[in-house]
């Protein structure tokens, strides 16, 4: 059950950042990647939600903690450029 402990640790590290601005880079497969800026809106047991607020673009994106673990999603918090990835 070490895998669940790693996912739980990722969740714990994201919790203090709820409400903060973040940059995310997501790999959606087949060379489709996108980069967005938003706010880490909420944390749930299996997923976290990012609210993207750009001109003419409002959307909520949800990701799993496994996405962070497998580096499908990379998060950068605030201006400090702290990057969250599988090497937490």
The answer to whether residue 87 sits within a structural domain is no
pLDDT of 36-80, one tens digit each? Answer: 999 999 999 999 999 998 888 789 999 999 999 999 999 998 765
The answer to whether residue 26 sits within a structural domain is yes
Please state, in angstroms and rounded to a whole number, the distance separating the CA atoms of residues 25 and 49: 14
DSSP category for residue 59? E
Supply the pTM of this predicted model: 0.79
Counted domains in the chain: 1
55 vs 2 pLDDT, higher one: 55
- Domain residues for the domain of 23 are 2-82
CA angle centred on 10, ends 33 and 80, rounded to 5°: 70
The answer to whether residue 88 sits within a structural domain is no
The answer to whether residue 32 sits within a structural domain is yes
Alpha carbon separation from 5 to 11, 34, 48, 83, 88 (Å, rounded): 10, 29, 17, 20, 13
The answer to whether residue 9 sits within a structural domain is yes
pLDDT of residue 88: 39
Q: Which CATH number does the domain housing residue 46 bear?
A: 2.30.30.100
pLDDT of 7-26, one tens digit each? Answer: 999 999 999 999 999 999 99
Contact call for residues 50 and 22 (beta carbons, < 8 A): yes
């Amino acid at each position: 059950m070490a895998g669940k402990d790693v996912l739980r640790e990722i969740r714990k590290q994201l919790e203090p950042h709820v409400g903060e601005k973040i940059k995310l880079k997501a790999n959606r497969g087949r060379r489709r990647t996108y980069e967005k800026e938003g706010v880490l809106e909420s944390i749930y047991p299996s997923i976290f939600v990012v609210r993207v607020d750009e001109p003419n673009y409002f959307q909520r994106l949800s990701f799993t903690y496994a996405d962070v673990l497998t580096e499908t999603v990379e998060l950068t918090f605030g201006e400090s450029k702290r990057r969250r990835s599988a090497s937490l």
